Amino acid sequence: MTQIYQASCTAPVNIATLKYWGKRDTKLNLPTNSSISVTLSQDDLRTLTTASCSSSFEQDTLYLNGEPHPIDTPRTLACLADLRSLRAALESKDDKLPKLSTFKLRIVSENNFPTAAGLASSAAGFAALISAIAKLYELPQNSSELSMIARKGSGSACRSLFGGYVAWEMGELEDGSDSKAVEVAPVNHWPEMQALICVVCDVKKDVSSTSGMQLTVATSDLFQERIKNVVPKRFIEMKKSIVDKDFAKFAELTIKDSNSFHSCCLDSYPPIFYMNDTSKKIIKLVNLLNEAAGKIIAAYTFDAGPNAVIYYLKENENQVLGLFNKVFGHLEGWEKAESLKSKFEILEKFPIDQIESNMEFYSQGVSRVILTQVGGGPKSVDTSLLDLETGLPKKC
């Protein structure tokens, strides 16, 4: 039987605290502004991808969560072409290397979380794809260099090439060769960062983020102010708040940037709405919590959908989770916090009567919670998703 070469990697989800919204080049996925994100722990959210190739494979194929998936999208093809070209360069310098760049690829990928939840699965997906193929091809490129390939697949995927706190520098060059992810700080610089994700029920969104962001670029007057003045200042301030481990500042900037991004969506023509009334209830809970604490202990952020991600520090876990467990404790996702529950509390100054007397109103609209935290970047793993005997995905 012909030899099958293979390699497997996992990659994380990242949730932006300074939002990417708008491309200045839609083909290369070059953004109109720099962005910042926190990489989330792969224990809770990750894509595992096995990349394989063989002279016996007849075409490039992709399996996602057990099902065949189109691989011939322009963006995926752009990533594969870049990776093959880097491999070919190695092969041209060393005759002994097998000519993997000429073989067809078989990619098998699966998430450890429901894809339909509207979490940033494409970021983890492209980061795992690029990492696994780079490992298969034994490419020497570093994470920033690989992030530029991931960026062509899905802009925000470039940030999933790093763990911890990550910046995507927008760059200036036309060919995008300076538009890449860099580490602001590793996980262990500020490991106390926790994230509570509230998965919000919603009808399917009307506007994809790909077309939504270009509608904003083309039609929003306020967006120009955002990219010219608001974000550049915030980018510097937010990096500093991370380096300084200044949660109150980090949280304020995170909240403001989520609001600013959704403002520009609403200022588009026709307007785009990603948050719904449930999202607004969660914002209200966070506001009341911070007021009761007398300082900012929780920061909400919303991507192009109604799900809330709430960042908080481990030291405020009992107060933050105490409140959200009170409201959403009946939902799936709290298993992980079982041992913490005895310490959960409601802040003395929190107007809990106001919530309790409208509990039906506040507790509806969320389908599950996910408790997680800041985590590391892509990892090389031995687990293979490929059945070497059949050359097909292993059955789950």
Residues that bind its own copies (CB under 8 A): 206, 221-222, 224-226, 229-230, 252, 255-256, 259-260, 262-264, 266-271, 273, 276-277, 280, 283-284, 287
If the CB atoms of residues 169 and 202 are measured against its own copies, the closer one turns out to be 202
User: Please, which residues bridge with residue 195 across strands?
Assistant: 311, 372
CB of 147 vs its own copies, minimal distance in Å: 29
In sequence order, what are the beta bridge partners of 182?
167
What is the rounded CA–CA span in Å between residue 356 and residue 346? Answer: 12
Calpha distance 243→190 (Å, rounded): 9
- Residue (103 or 362) nearer to its own copies, CB: 362
**Complex with its own copies: residue 75 or 226, whichever CB lies closer:** 226
**Residue 77, Cα to own-chain centre: how many angstroms?**
21
Three-class secondary structure of residue 346 per DSSP:
coil
- SS3 call for 216: helix
For its own copies, the closer of residues 68 and 271 by Cβ is: 271
Closer to its own copies at the Cβ: 69 or 240? Answer: 240
Choice between 210 and 219, CB closer to its own copies: 219
Cis peptide bond upstream of 140, omega within 30: no
Q: What minimum distance in Å lies between the beta carbon of 184 and its own copies?
A: 22
CB of 264 to its own copies, least distance (A): 7
Residues 283, 300 contacting (CB under 8 angstroms): yes
CB 382 to its own copies: min, Å:
47
> Residue 254, class by beta-carbon neighbours within 10 Å (0-12 exposed, 13-18 middle, 19+ buried)?
buried
- Written as one letter, the residue type at 259 is N
What distance in Å separates the CA atoms of residue 394 and residue 386, rounded to the nearest whole number? 5
CB of 141 to its own copies, least distance (A): 38
Q: Please classify residue 78 by burial: count the beta carbons closer than 10 Å to its beta carbon, then call 0-12 exposed, 13-18 middle and 19+ buried.
A: middle
Smallest separation (angstroms) from its own copies to the CB of 193: 22
The CB-of-303 to its own copies minimum distance in angstroms stands at: 15
Nearer to its own copies, 27 or 284 (CB): 284
